[in-house]
Amino acid sequence: MIITRRVTKYFSDTPAVKDVSFEIRPGEIVGFLGQNGAGKTTLMRILTSYFPVSSGTALIAGLDVSKHSLLIRQKIGYLPETPPLYMDMTVKDYLRFAADIRGVSVRQRQVRLDRVLEECQISDVQGKVIGALSKGYKQRVGIAQAIIHEPQILILDEPTSGLDPIQILQVRTLIKGLRQERTVLLSTHILSEIEQIARRVLIIRAGRIIVDALLEDLLKTPGTAPSGGSTLEEVFIRAHQSPGGPL
């Protein structure tokens, strides 16, 4: 579903992503971890065809992101760290607009609108102006625009950033509900989210993937957790302290 082969991206003379290779199969839920500036957002923008690669190949559903950007955007739902919302539009009008630019047919538009309003639990605010909503509701509207065209792949960049604990729980529950139907790549600094949602973990450091493993295998690594294994936090810290990663 998602394949990268030695993907490299330079900004001027600085490599933001270097020689990144991995494959995400249909239906996988993958947590994408790394410190600020490690290259997570750059790689996500390459996969969503917002940034061109400097070298290497990135494929989405068999399509090269460098050659088929418009087709790829129809297959992907993308929520950047700052949701692309129009604050002076109502929720309903904005989602109709999102459906239109995503190519949803007029016949299907109301059906899709009703579905995402229910899935994202925003029916009660559909007539409100987005700028008047809480941040938690804005995040849910952002997720709604990402799934209104029923994409095969969801790429979520820090979907719970800046939310309070109750809002985090609500958005996390929403993402859990979406994972049954889609391939999901989720970036977050909240490691407990990865433990609850993802089955596989990628860790990037200085533009390179240093860990690519099933979550259950990582947590079996000897550590200080009550089970005798490791927590994801311990794995993450070891990955950034050891030249070769934690394993």
CB atoms within 10 A of CB 109: 16
Q: Answer yes or no: are the C-beta atoms of 146 and 95 closer than 8 Å.
A: no
Q: What's the chain's average pLDDT?
A: 90
DSSP annotation of 73: H
Beta bridge partners of 211: 203
Res 225 pLDDT > 70: no
Q: What is the pLDDT of residues 132-162, one digit of tens each?
A: 999 999 999 999 999 999 998 999 998 888 8
For 121, list phi and psi in degrees, rounded to 5: 55, 50
pLDDT band at 226 (very low <50, low <70, confident <90, very high): low
Residue 157 contacts by C-beta under 8 Å, 6 or more apart in sequence? 40, 41, 44, 78, 79, 80, 81, 187
Domains by residue range for the chain, with CATH = 2-37+49-241 (3.40.50.300)
Q: What is the dihedral of CA 105, 148, 29, 124, to 10 degrees?
A: -160
Would you list the DSSP string of 193-232? HHHHH-SEEEEEETTEEEEEEEHHHHHTSS-SSTTSS--H
Asked whether residue 227 carries a pLDDT value surpassing 70, the answer given is: no
Confidence label for 174 from pLDDT (cuts 50, 70 and 90): confident
- Please check the confidence at residue 228 and state whether its pLDDT lies above 70: no
Report how far residue 88's alpha carbon sits from residue 58's, in angstroms, rounded to the nearest whole number: 36
Residue 189: per-residue pLDDT: 83
What's the confidence (pLDDT) of residue 104? Answer: 93
Q: What is the predicted pLDDT for the residue at 244?
A: 55
User: Model confidence at 245, in pLDDT bands (50, 70, 90)?
Assistant: low
Alpha carbon distance 156, 135 (integer Å): 16
pLDDT digits (tens, 9 = 90+) for 189-206: 888 889 888 999 999 999
Whether residue 233 contacts residue 240, with contact meaning beta carbons closer than 8 Å, is answered with no
The pLDDT tens digits for 88-109 are 999 999 999 999 999 999 999 9
What is the per-residue pLDDT for 229? 75
State pTM to two decimals: 0.88
